[in-house]
Amino acid sequence: MTNPRSLHRSGARVSLVARFAALAFALYFQGSLIVGAAEARVEKDIEYLETGRAEKLDIYLPPDLDVARAQGKPRAAVVWIHGGGWIRGTKSEMRAAEICTTLAEAGYVAASIDYRLGKGAWPQNLYDCKNAVRFLRVKAADYGIDPTRIAVAGGSAGGHLALMVGLVVSVKFSKSGSVVRWIGEIKRFMGRV
Protein backbone atom coordinates (compact mmCIF):
# COMPACT_ATOMS: atom_id res chain seq x y z
CA MET A 1 0.00 0.00 0.00
CA THR A 2 1.29 3.46 -0.92
CA ASN A 3 1.91 6.00 1.79
CA PRO A 4 -0.43 8.99 1.13
CA ARG A 5 2.18 11.40 2.50
CA SER A 6 4.72 10.29 -0.10
CA LEU A 7 2.12 10.82 -2.85
CA HIS A 8 1.53 14.36 -1.59
CA ARG A 9 5.25 15.11 -1.57
CA SER A 10 5.63 13.57 -5.02
CA GLY A 11 2.73 15.67 -6.34
CA ALA A 12 4.25 18.79 -4.79
CA ARG A 13 7.55 18.01 -6.52
CA VAL A 14 5.80 17.52 -9.85
CA SER A 15 4.00 20.84 -9.44
CA LEU A 16 7.26 22.57 -8.52
CA VAL A 17 9.02 21.06 -11.54
CA ALA A 18 6.14 22.17 -13.80
CA ARG A 19 6.28 25.71 -12.47
CA PHE A 20 10.06 25.85 -12.82
CA ALA A 21 9.88 24.56 -16.40
CA ALA A 22 7.26 27.17 -17.32
CA LEU A 23 9.34 29.95 -15.78
CA ALA A 24 12.52 28.76 -17.51
CA PHE A 25 10.83 28.70 -20.90
CA ALA A 26 9.20 32.10 -20.29
CA LEU A 27 12.60 33.60 -19.53
CA TYR A 28 14.23 31.84 -22.46
CA PHE A 29 11.64 32.88 -25.02
CA GLN A 30 11.38 36.45 -23.64
CA GLY A 31 8.21 38.33 -24.29
CA SER A 32 5.69 35.51 -24.06
CA LEU A 33 2.23 36.39 -22.87
CA ILE A 34 0.89 34.98 -19.65
CA VAL A 35 -2.61 33.96 -20.60
CA GLY A 36 -4.36 33.78 -17.26
CA ALA A 37 -6.85 31.42 -15.70
CA ALA A 38 -8.33 29.94 -18.90
CA GLU A 39 -7.69 26.26 -19.48
CA ALA A 40 -5.47 24.75 -22.13
CA ARG A 41 -7.03 22.65 -24.89
CA VAL A 42 -5.59 19.18 -25.39
CA GLU A 43 -5.62 17.11 -28.58
CA LYS A 44 -4.65 13.53 -27.81
CA ASP A 45 -3.06 10.68 -29.73
CA ILE A 46 -1.89 12.54 -32.81
CA GLU A 47 0.20 10.50 -35.26
CA TYR A 48 3.59 12.08 -35.77
CA LEU A 49 5.57 9.07 -36.91
CA GLU A 50 5.13 6.77 -39.88
CA THR A 51 1.81 4.98 -40.26
CA GLY A 52 1.43 1.92 -38.05
CA ARG A 53 3.59 3.12 -35.17
CA ALA A 54 1.92 2.92 -31.76
CA GLU A 55 3.71 6.00 -30.43
CA LYS A 56 1.69 9.22 -30.62
CA LEU A 57 1.82 12.75 -29.24
CA ASP A 58 -0.56 14.91 -27.23
CA ILE A 59 -0.61 18.61 -28.03
CA TYR A 60 -1.56 21.24 -25.46
CA LEU A 61 -2.81 24.50 -26.96
CA PRO A 62 -3.01 27.89 -25.24
CA PRO A 63 -6.55 29.08 -24.45
CA ASP A 64 -6.11 32.22 -26.59
CA LEU A 65 -4.44 30.56 -29.57
CA ASP A 66 -7.23 31.55 -31.98
CA VAL A 67 -6.80 35.22 -31.03
CA ALA A 68 -3.01 34.97 -31.41
CA ARG A 69 -3.42 33.35 -34.84
CA ALA A 70 -5.85 36.09 -35.97
CA GLN A 71 -3.29 38.70 -34.86
CA GLY A 72 -0.52 36.89 -36.74
CA LYS A 73 1.39 36.10 -33.55
CA PRO A 74 2.52 32.47 -33.64
CA ARG A 75 3.60 30.95 -30.33
CA ALA A 76 6.78 29.28 -29.21
CA ALA A 77 6.48 25.53 -28.71
CA VAL A 78 8.00 22.97 -26.37
CA VAL A 79 8.37 19.24 -26.99
CA TRP A 80 8.27 17.42 -23.63
CA ILE A 81 9.95 13.99 -23.51
CA HIS A 82 9.01 11.74 -20.59
CA GLY A 83 11.54 9.83 -18.52
CA GLY A 84 11.53 6.19 -17.54
CA GLY A 85 15.02 4.84 -18.10
CA TRP A 86 14.34 4.39 -21.83
CA ILE A 87 12.25 1.30 -21.00
CA ARG A 88 8.97 2.65 -19.59
CA GLY A 89 6.92 5.81 -19.33
CA THR A 90 4.22 7.52 -21.30
CA LYS A 91 3.31 10.91 -22.73
CA SER A 92 0.26 10.89 -20.45
CA GLU A 93 2.12 10.58 -17.14
CA MET A 94 1.18 13.07 -14.43
CA ARG A 95 4.41 15.10 -14.67
CA ALA A 96 4.15 15.44 -18.46
CA ALA A 97 0.49 16.49 -18.29
CA GLU A 98 1.19 19.04 -15.54
CA ILE A 99 4.20 20.58 -17.29
CA CYS A 100 2.49 20.75 -20.69
CA THR A 101 -0.72 22.18 -19.21
CA THR A 102 1.27 24.80 -17.29
CA LEU A 103 3.19 25.76 -20.43
CA ALA A 104 0.01 25.99 -22.53
CA GLU A 105 -1.70 28.12 -19.91
CA ALA A 106 1.38 30.39 -20.00
CA GLY A 107 0.90 30.85 -23.75
CA TYR A 108 3.10 28.14 -25.27
CA VAL A 109 2.12 25.24 -27.49
CA ALA A 110 3.38 22.08 -25.78
CA ALA A 111 3.64 18.55 -27.15
CA SER A 112 4.15 15.49 -24.96
CA ILE A 113 5.43 12.53 -26.95
CA ASP A 114 5.75 8.80 -26.76
CA TYR A 115 8.88 7.29 -28.31
CA ARG A 116 10.23 3.78 -28.88
CA LEU A 117 11.06 2.10 -25.56
CA GLY A 118 12.86 -1.03 -24.45
CA LYS A 119 15.85 -3.07 -25.40
CA GLY A 120 17.15 -2.22 -28.85
CA ALA A 121 15.28 1.09 -29.01
CA TRP A 122 18.44 3.15 -29.54
CA PRO A 123 18.81 5.12 -31.81
CA GLN A 124 15.15 4.94 -32.91
CA ASN A 125 14.04 6.67 -29.69
CA LEU A 126 16.25 9.65 -30.61
CA TYR A 127 14.90 9.69 -34.18
CA ASP A 128 11.35 9.70 -32.76
CA CYS A 129 12.16 12.77 -30.66
CA LYS A 130 13.76 14.57 -33.61
CA ASN A 131 10.72 13.70 -35.73
CA ALA A 132 8.47 15.34 -33.14
CA VAL A 133 10.32 18.62 -33.73
CA ARG A 134 10.07 18.14 -37.50
CA PHE A 135 6.34 17.37 -37.16
CA LEU A 136 5.73 20.62 -35.26
CA ARG A 137 7.66 22.58 -37.89
CA VAL A 138 5.63 21.04 -40.71
CA LYS A 139 2.34 21.60 -38.83
CA ALA A 140 3.34 25.03 -37.48
CA ALA A 141 0.53 26.87 -39.29
CA ASP A 142 -2.08 24.32 -38.12
CA TYR A 143 -1.13 24.75 -34.47
CA GLY A 144 -0.17 28.45 -34.46
CA ILE A 145 3.53 27.73 -33.83
CA ASP A 146 6.53 29.87 -34.73
CA PRO A 147 8.69 27.15 -36.37
CA THR A 148 11.89 29.00 -35.39
CA ARG A 149 11.00 28.86 -31.67
CA ILE A 150 10.69 25.19 -30.73
CA ALA A 151 12.41 23.99 -27.57
CA VAL A 152 12.89 20.43 -26.37
CA ALA A 153 12.91 19.40 -22.71
CA GLY A 154 12.42 16.27 -20.69
CA GLY A 155 12.83 14.54 -17.38
CA SER A 156 15.51 11.95 -16.65
CA ALA A 157 15.86 9.75 -19.77
CA GLY A 158 13.73 12.36 -21.55
CA GLY A 159 16.24 15.03 -20.56
CA HIS A 160 19.00 12.93 -22.10
CA LEU A 161 17.02 12.55 -25.32
CA ALA A 162 16.20 16.29 -25.36
CA LEU A 163 19.91 17.11 -25.13
CA MET A 164 20.68 14.59 -27.87
CA VAL A 165 18.06 16.19 -30.14
CA GLY A 166 20.09 19.39 -29.89
CA LEU A 167 23.50 17.82 -30.28
CA VAL A 168 23.04 15.02 -32.81
CA VAL A 169 22.64 16.31 -36.32
CA SER A 170 21.83 14.13 -39.30
CA VAL A 171 23.67 14.48 -42.60
CA LYS A 172 20.65 16.27 -44.06
CA PHE A 173 20.78 18.91 -41.33
CA SER A 174 24.57 19.34 -41.15
CA LYS A 175 24.75 20.79 -44.69
CA SER A 176 22.73 23.78 -43.51
CA GLY A 177 25.13 24.50 -40.64
CA SER A 178 22.35 24.03 -38.11
CA VAL A 179 24.64 22.12 -35.73
CA VAL A 180 26.30 25.42 -34.87
CA ARG A 181 22.92 27.08 -34.29
CA TRP A 182 21.66 24.20 -32.11
CA ILE A 183 24.77 24.15 -29.94
CA GLY A 184 24.58 27.95 -29.64
CA GLU A 185 20.96 27.72 -28.49
CA ILE A 186 21.81 25.02 -25.95
CA LYS A 187 24.63 27.19 -24.59
CA ARG A 188 22.39 30.24 -24.44
CA PHE A 189 19.74 28.35 -22.47
CA MET A 190 21.98 26.24 -20.22
CA GLY A 191 24.91 28.58 -19.77
CA ARG A 192 28.45 27.50 -20.35
CA VAL A 193 28.78 23.82 -21.23
Q: Give all domains of the chain, ordered by start, each with its CATH number.
A: 4-190 (3.40.50.1820)
Give CA–CA dist 98/81, Å, rounded: 13
Partners of residue 77 on adjacent β-strands: 109, 150
* pLDDT, greater one: 107 or 25: 107
pTM above 0.85, yes or no: no
What pLDDT is stored for residue 69 in this prediction?
83
Give the model's pLDDT for residue 171. Answer: 37
In the predicted structure, residue 167 carries a pLDDT above the cut 90: no
The Cβ of residue 137 has, within 10 Å, a number of other Cβ atoms equal to 14
The pLDDT of 20-39, averaged and rounded, is: 56
Mean model confidence pLDDT for the chain: 80
Residue 70, pLDDT score = 83
